[in-house]
Amino acid sequence: MDVAGRVALVTGGATRVGRAISLGLASAGADVFVHYNSSAGPADELVAEIESMGLNAAAGQAHLGDLDAAETLIDEVAAALGPPSILINSASGFPTDTITDVTPKDFRETIDVTLGAAVFLTKAMALTLPETTEGAVVNVSDVRTARPYHDHLSYILAKGGLDTFTLAAAASLAPRIRVNAVALGVILPPPGEDDDYVAELAAALPLERAGGTAPVVDAVMHLVQNHFITGEIVRINGGGHLV
Ligand SMILES: NC(=O)c1ccc[n+]([C@@H]2O[C@H](COP(=O)([O-])OP(=O)(O)OC[C@H]3O[C@@H](n4cnc5c(N)ncnc54)[C@H](OP(=O)(O)O)[C@@H]3O)[C@@H](O)[C@H]2O)c1
């Protein structure tokens, strides 16, 4: 699938991994809608950077714990840039909770932001996309769904749901819309942690390094562009599943 001339929506697209993906799509010629929650300044700066590449870009705010707002975000994208045919679900919280302290309120919010928003954005994208246009969705998941954290319980349950949603949506939306996922390992330090935190985790990996954002962007671009892959979840984890 040729990315040039398409409209892409990247959730959590203003900072860190999402920002790198937004720029990767723009570098391939896509117009990009940068969704943000609290990062208004970085979102505006990124829009200006993408526009300086000769492309169209826009930014929009939504708290993705509000699933109605998630659904209407697609209308906002269509009004600003045209109907999106590329959707990258990268926004996520990373709350700390365990089976003995998780609360219903926090559990619901994490599930909504990390899983529910991807479901309703994909639904709205599928309904908005012109019938003759093909589309691609990439969900940003976490390799730890296979070996769950005990201290990020609601997060990893949401990501596990996102993996299953990737398969379900790929089957439902074929042949017109392909749905894939990337499952990330040690990429960047979580917000609030420093490089030492990542270095310690990276040392235990077969590839003995943290990924950084470039391998994530490469994989996302491949999944968007390759017209014969759907329902795939690609690990970007330095071989962490081997140890
Ligand atoms: N970094 C890693 O090593 C790693 C490892 C495994 C999986 N992942 C996954 O990869 C993706 C990107 O990682 P990251 O480290 O770049 O993530 P991040 O910095 O923790 O968060 C990504 C974005 O999510 C948005 N977000 C958070 N809560 C939101 C809410 N309630 N409503 C709407 N947006 C919200 C934030 O937007 P604002 O900034 O605008 O508030 C933020 O830019 C995430 O899905 C993460 O779970 C990352």
CATH number at residue 125: 3.40.50.720
- How many structural domains are present in the chain? 1
Residue 2: inside a domain: no
Give the tens place of pLDDT for each residue, 18-67: 999 999 999 999 999 999 999 999 999 999 999 999 999 999 999 999 99
Ligand 1 centroid distance, CA of 102 (Å): 20
Residue 131 has pLDDT above 90, yes or no: yes
**Residue 226: inside a domain:** yes
What's the 131 CA to ligand 1 centre distance in angstroms?
31
- Is residue 121 a part of any domain in this protein? yes
- For residues 221 and 4, the answer to whether their CB atoms sit within 8 Å is no
What's residue 45's pLDDT?
98
pLDDT value at residue 241: 96
The finding on whether 241 has its CB within 6 A of some atom of ligand 1 is no
Residue range 196-204: average pLDDT? 94
- Tell me the C-alpha distance between 210 and 187, whole Å: 5
What is the pLDDT at residue 40? 98
Judge whether 1 lies within some domain.
no
Enclosing domain of residue 61: 7-242
Q: Does residue 223 belong to any structural domain of this protein?
A: yes
Q: Tell which one of 16, 92, 165, 182 to mutate to probe ligand 1, the residue whose CB is within 8 A of the most ligand atoms.
A: 92
Candidate from 17, 67, 241 with most ligand 1 atoms within 8 A of CB, to mutate: 17
Return the residue whose CA atom lies nearest to atom 24 of ligand 1. 91
- Quick one: tokens of 206? 């077969």
Question: What is the whole-number distance in angstroms between the Cα of residue 91 and the centre of ligand 1?
Answer: 4
Put simply, whether the predicted model's pTM sits higher than 0.95 gets the answer yes
Residue 166: predicted pLDDT: 99
Average pLDDT rounded to a whole number, residues 170-190:
97
pLDDT of 104 higher than 90? yes
Q: How many residues does the chain have?
A: 243
Cβ burial 123-161 (10 Å sphere, 16+ → b, else e): bbbbebbeeeeebbbbbbbbbbbeeebeebbbbbbbbbb
Closest listed residue to residue 114, CA positions, set 164, 42, 40: 164
Q: Is the pLDDT of residue 192 over 90?
A: no
Q: In this predicted structure, what is the pLDDT of residue 195?
A: 87
Domain contains 118: yes
